[in-house]
Amino acid sequence: MQEAVIDTSVFVYDTFEDSLYHEAAARLLDSLDRWLIPLIVVYEYVWFLKGLNVRPADARDKLLEYITGEKCLLVREGADEIRWAFSRIVEEELSLARFNDAVVLSVAIRRGASLASFDAKLRKQGSEAGREPTP
């Protein structure tokens, strides 16, 4: 079974047909058997849609498509993921702006899963941590 932890960037590109990586995001999601979706990704996705002034009903409908699909497994982050994220930020002297990405990466590491992201910095961190980035 091919599964990956899905980063917010994948859903953003999949959502908007005129986006740069729309086709790649759609192919990626179709190719996976299981989407591991950290809750922090759900929150980031909603905030992103809010920033674009997407109507709440439209945001709800799109999010429900993702999280109620048969491929979806929502993953609740806990204290271990938060500790790991802060450790990485402090040790590598990263900005707190990288916190959400560090939590997503922590989920991939703890689950032994690939990391699906179009975020170049997160993909690089994933490679360095031994989580093969997808695509």
Domains of the chain by residue range: 3-77+107-134
What's the whole-model pTM score? 0.91
Closest CA to 118 of 100, 133, 128: 133
Residues 6+ apart with CB under 8 A from 68: none
CATH number, domain 3-77+107-134, options 3.10.20.590, 3.30.1050.10, 3.40.50.1010, 3.90.930.12: 3.40.50.1010
- pLDDT per residue over 65-110, tens digit each? 999 999 999 999 999 999 999 999 999 999 999 999 999 999 999 9
- What the block records as the tokens of 17 is 């047909």
Average pLDDT over residues 6-29: 96
Alpha helices by DSSP H, the chain: 8-15, 22-31, 39-51, 56-67, 79-91, 99-111, 120-128
- pLDDT per residue over 108-126, tens digit each? 999 999 999 999 888 888 7
What is the spatial distance between Cα 38 and Cα 74, in angstroms, rounded to a whole number? Answer: 6
